[in-house]
Amino acid sequence: MQFPDGGELFKAAEKKSEHLVFFAHFFKGHKKALRRHIDLVNELGFDAYAFNLKDDLKDHKYVPYSHVSKKFGMKHVLAEQIGHHLDLLTHYKTKIIFAFSNVAGCAIEAHTRRLKEGQNDVVAMVCDSGPGAGNFFQSSYMLLQEQIGVESLSLKLLGTPAVAFGWSPKLNKDIRHDLDSFPEGFPILSIRGWRDRLITPMDIDKVFDHHKNLNWKKLSLPEAGHLNGLRDFPSEYKPGVEDFLNQFRH
């Protein structure tokens, strides 16, 4: 089957699970950046799927509006795209979402919408370096500086509110409401680097704390920053992910 948006299946050499690991890369990323993660889950016996998010304003004629959720914001159009790709993978009856940074919030939204439509094929999530629901303006400022590479202070100050509200007028505060709709005992692994300057562990905790319906655990990486856990600290990252995914292997 030919998938849109560069979608691609990566088959495990020795399959040990019927669950598909569904990847959603970080904002302004690319599926190629997930090669280490895809190799990891393949080695653990899981098939994987990755695609390219339409995370440029040009992809949406400069107006990011989701016709599915009837909401403005990049968060919501990416959630719509993630949901569409989940819908395409009918060959896999159950899926584990592995999402990164604030795009993990898009995946949560997509899963929430699909649950309301009676689609409960997602059985767990791994959220690496996000999402955050604390100081979203600080996160947007750091995104411009550290990930997009804006050097001008005036451009960063002007761009911060545009990035924040262009992502979502609710500034990720709707994620906690979405999580309320997750089924009892839903497993989530939250990976965070203590040195993350874009989305701090405290901001991540504000998303997941107080949700007694979730069976969520933390994988804390004391020396890691934003999204560099597997690359720079594999001896801590790999066992934590393997321990979580072991419950879904034969």
Q: Tens digits of per-residue pLDDT, 5-42?
A: 999 999 999 999 999 999 999 999 999 999 999 999 99
Where are the domains positioned within the chain?
Answer: 8-133+170-248
Residue 154's SS3 state is helix
Which of the four pLDDT bands, split at 50, 70 and 90, describes residue 135?
Answer: confident
Q: Provide the pLDDT for residue 210.
A: 87
Query: Where are the extended beta strands (E) located within the chain?
Result: 8-10, 20-24, 47-50, 65-66, 71-72, 95-100, 122-128, 186-193, 214-221
CA 144 to chain centre: 19
- Nearest 5°: the CA angle 188, 163, 197 is 55
Which of the four pLDDT bands, split at 50, 70 and 90, describes residue 1?
Answer: confident
Q: Tens digits of per-residue pLDDT, 151-204?
A: 998 998 888 998 899 999 999 999 999 999 999 999 999 999 999 999 999 999
Give bridge partners of residue 100 from the DSSP assignment: 128
Q: Provide the pLDDT for residue 146.
A: 84
Q: Tens digits of per-residue pLDDT, 196-250?
A: 999 999 999 999 998 999 999 999 999 999 999 999 999 999 999 999 999 999 8
Which of the four pLDDT bands, split at 50, 70 and 90, describes residue 104?
Answer: very high
Give the helix ranges, DSSP H, for 89-233. 103-116, 136-142, 153-167, 175-180, 201-208, 229-232
Which pTM does this prediction carry?
0.96
CA 191 to chain centre: 11
Q: Among 3.40.50.1820, 3.40.50.10490, 3.20.20.70, 3.50.50.60, what is the CATH number of 8-133+170-248? A: 3.40.50.1820
Token pair recorded at residue 42: 């393949």
Distance CA 213, CA 180 (A): 7
Q: Provide the pLDDT for residue 53.
A: 98
Q: Provide the pLDDT for residue 127.
A: 98
Q: How many CB atoms lie within 10 A of CB 231?
A: 12
Cα atoms in the Cβ-side hemisphere of radius 13 Å centred on 67: 2
Q: Provide the pLDDT for residue 136.
A: 87
Q: Which amino acid is at 220?
A: S
Q: Provide the pLDDT for residue 149.
A: 86
Spell out the residues 6+ positions from residue 7 whose beta carbon is closer than 8 angstroms to its own. 49, 50, 51, 85, 88
pLDDT above 70 coverage of the chain, percent: 100
Q: Provide the pLDDT for residue 143.
A: 86
Q: Using the 8-state DSSP alphabet, how is residue 3 labeled?
A: P
